[in-house]
Each structure stands twice: as structure tokens, then as C-alpha cells.
Amino acid sequence: MQPLKNDRYLRALLRQPVDYTPVWMMRQAGRYLPEYKATRAEAGDFMALCKNAELACEVTLQPLRRFPLDAAILFSDILTIPDAMGLGLYFETGEGPKFQRPITCMADVQKLGIPDPEGELQYVMNAVRTIRRELKGEVPLIGFSGSPWTLATYMVEGGGSKAFTKTKKMMFADPNAMHLLLDKLADSVTSYLNAQIAAGAQSLMIFDTWGGVLSTRDYKEFSLQYMAKIVDGLVRENDGRRVPVTLFTKNGGQWLEAIAATGCDGIGLDWTIDMADAKRRVGDKVALQGNMDPSMLYAPIPRIEQEVSTILESFGEGPGHVFNLGHGIHLDVDPEHAGAFIRAVQKLSRPYHAK
């Protein structure tokens, strides 16, 4: 593999000095880009795009051709593992992902196997290998997975949900079934992410999109302990480099200290928490990623630049900050505004790293 030309993102996650704050965007390869829409049309549908290594590579690289980003993220989906477990993933137009065979009881959970990352999920590893080769060492490649809790919500609900009643019913009425499901998912995610590292991913991110719907007690029992188990099981060195791992719980700002105690390298922050407050609470234990409201990209460019300045000032001087949105970029954002955001971070952050 080629030596890495721009390692600011990896250095920032390890709280090492950089010359400016590295920046990337969640969902940076996606529907806000016209070139993405063209490639998806060529693929036929979303999962066909994920399963074609050349096309998944193409959409991963598209935002890097437009913007001076400091990292690439694998183009895939968090529901690849449940799909590989045989739940029958499909997409309803305008309704998002659905499962033909949702999990309803302990017997369903007991039937689930742990997918082979180089078997049922080999298409993801092929995409990682292809992307890593085509990046030619320009920037690091981020691999990712959904968290066990977040994957479980889709598997039990049969798709997306607002109230998560089926998931919480299982959690409270049959906690043994839920814990077995989460344990199997934690084992699956660990092997999946380690296979991504072996295929060439240089950093990892775990998306706990729905952890924030839980109480503090239930978050620790049903979400965080399984992410901690994954962190413990991950390969943390490859190609002579540390492989940093970032945990992101949406609406998880109240649990930063507990998240930092898992042994992760970085914590992703949504926009509901103040960056200065987060830094004060975790100290130099972990790096912080975030945390501009994605809707700010609808604002005029001077307002975007002002917001970037405010967040940089809130974090203050020194390493340990990866700039990002507080969640994924919205599909109807003007790409010019995304570009202005990225350039603003790279220009305005330099004085904070001058010492």
C-alpha cells in the first residue's frame, strides 16, 4: 500500500499535532451530489450500488474530487449485517429500508448466525480493497458499522421507527432475547470491522443512531456495553499504524464520560451539545468529532463561515478535533455550500494549531 500523503485525520483522532483541523462530512458520498445520482441510476438501486465494488468506489471518491476533504468513508450501509443474517432487506420508495423477516422472539434470535465477512459480506471487503487502491494514499479510508443497538432496532421493528415500541417491548418484556441479539450483533460487528481493517480501512466509526432514545440506565446496559465489547475486540494496529475508532451516539451528549471510558479514540458529537462543554468533560482522554448542525449548510455562505468560526473557537487551541457535521449532510444541500464549509474549516482553523 502507498504511504499516506495526508494523515491529519488520523493524527487528530490520536490527539497529535496538525497544521489545521481535519474535516470530512457524514454522508459526504451521497444524494446531494448530481454525480452520485447518475452513478446510482447506472447501478439500478441502492443495494446494487453497495454490492458493485467499482461503483461503490466511484461514489466514495466523488466528493474527494470536488472538495479538499481529509478522509474518505466507505460507501455502504449500516444494514449490511442484518441483511447477511437473512432478514431480507429491501427498500420501499420514499419509505427507507424494510425487512421481510423481522425478529419477533427468542426463537428468531437463536436461529441467527454470525455472517462471514469474506462470505456473505465479501462485497463490502471488495469495495474497501478497491477504494483503498484507488485512493493512492491521498487520504485515509474510514470503515464503519452500525452499533448493535441501532441494528437491533431495525431488525425488530422491521424497518425505521419513531417510537421503537417493538424494540422496547422486547427489551423490557424479554430482556434475555434482546441481550442475546445484541451479543450476536456485537460479535458480528467485531469480525466485520476487523475484516474491513484487513482489507485496508485505516480508521473505524460505529454509528449508534438510535442510542439516544434510551434512558441512561438502558443506554449503558443495551447500547454502550456492546459498543465497549466491540472496541475491546478490534484490531488497533495495522500497517505499522494505530487504527483509531470513533463512537457516535446521536443525542448522546449526556453520556460523554461513559463513552470515553470504553477505550475508543474519538467521540462523535451531534449539534445539541456545546463543543467547549464536551471538551471540558472529557479532557484529553479522547478526540472529539463534530459538530455543526447539518441544516446550517442551507444558510448563506458567510453565515456558514461564522458558524465554523464559532465551533473552532469553542474547541480552542490544540489537537484532538475532527470537524464534521453533527449528523449526515441533507440530500438537498447545495454542493457549493458544502465546499465553502470545508474551505472555511481549513482556513479558519490554522491559527488554533500555530503553536
Active site residues per annotation:
27, 31, 40, 77, 154
196 is in an annotated binding site: no
Q: How far apart are CA 64 and CA 122, in angstroms?
A: 25
Q: How far apart are CA 178 and CA 255, in angstroms?
A: 22
Q: Counting Cβ atoms within 10 Å, is residue 233 exposed (0-12), middle (13-18) or buried (19+)? A: middle
- CA nearest to 42, candidates 58, 27, 26, 28: 58
29 is in an annotated binding site: yes
CB of 211 within 8 A of CB of 224?
yes
CB of 196 within 8 A of CB of 143?
yes
Q: For 98, what's the count of Cα atoms within 13 Å in the CB-facing half-sphere? A: 8
31 is in an annotated binding site: yes
Take residue 195 and report the three cell numbers written for it.
475484516
Start-to-end CA distance of the chain, whole Å, equals 33
28 is in an annotated binding site: yes
> With b meaning 16 or more CB within 10 Å and e meaning fewer, what string describes 113-148?
ebbebeebbbbbbbbbbbbbeebeebbbbbbbbbbb
Within 10 A of 223 (CB to CB), how many other CB atoms are there? 27
CB of 88 within 8 A of CB of 165?
no
66 is in an annotated binding site: no
Longest dimension (CA), the chain: 59
320 is in an annotated binding site: no
DSSP state of 159: B
327 is in an annotated binding site: yes
27 is in an annotated binding site: yes
Within 10 A of 177 (CB to CB), how many other CB atoms are there? 20
Q: Which residues are annotated as a binding site for substrate?
A: 27-31, 77, 154, 209, 327
Q: Which residues are annotated as a binding site?
A: 27-31, 77, 154, 209, 327
